[in-house]
Structure formats: structure tokens, C-alpha cells
Amino acid sequence: GAVVSQHPSWVICKSGTSVKIECRSLDFQATTMFWYRQFPKQSLMLMATSNEGSKATYEQGVEKDKFLINHASLTLSTLTVTSAHPEDSSFYICSAGGQSSNYEQYFGPGTRLTVT
């Protein structure tokens, strides 16, 4: 199956700083990428949808100025958590899909963010 990577796999940062998470489709071109967030013992919650070359579409309740998403190429999307606070600590997961993945979505391994 198609492979999606995320970097870093875990990160610890201080409150008030910004953190960038990368999501890459390694062996296919991803026209669409999704970002999810998962708090402990909860299910995945969709944060935003990004299409290559377009502005991301955010779900209700997700602050677009706080969670900056860039999808500048068919193999890379980035999520930047700006001015992070402890309540932003979570497991962030991306998924990607496109014609060359047979239009199915494949998930990255996730990034564990801890804000101290």
C-alpha cells in the first residue's frame, strides 16, 4: 500500500512557541491531505482538509490562525501549531490520497505533541 510519513514522530515544546509537523506521501502524489487530532482515549477528530495549491478548509471550532496548514506540493503538507499551549498537547495524524493511491486515503504514523 501507499506510504505516508510524518516528522517529527514526537515533539516537546514550551508554551508560546510554534511547532511545525510535516506529512509526506512517499510513493504517490496526494491531491488531498487531511489533518486529524486525537486526545487520549478519544477518537480521531478531523481538523482540516487541504488540496494541493489551495487554502485549507477548517472544521468548525478549529482556529485557522492557530493551526496553519500548507499544501504546496503533491507530496508534502505541513501543519504549524502557532503559540502552542498545554491544551494543544495531542496526537496529530495526517492522511493523504490521490489518483495514484487509487483514490484511497492512507495515514501517517502520527506526531505526539506535548506542550509544557
Q: What does the binding site for another protein look like in residue numbers (CB under 8 A)? A: 1, 4, 6, 30-32, 34, 36, 43-46, 49, 51, 91, 93, 95-98, 101, 103-110, 112
Shortest spacing between CB 13 and another protein, in angstroms? 19
CA geometry: angle 71, 90, 63, nearest 5 deg = 55
CA atoms within 13 A on the CB side of 47: 25
Determine the Cα–Cα distance for residues 71 and 56; give it in Å rounded to an integer. 8
Our CB check for another protein shows the closer of 17 and 102 to be 102
Q: How far is the CB of 16 from another protein (least distance, A)?
A: 26
Q: How far is the CB of 15 from another protein (least distance, A)?
A: 23
Distance CA 18, CA 100 (A): 33
Nearest to 75 by CA among 2, 1, 18: 2
Shorter beta-carbon distance to another protein: residue 14 or 41: 41
What minimum distance in Å lies between the beta carbon of 86 and another protein?
19
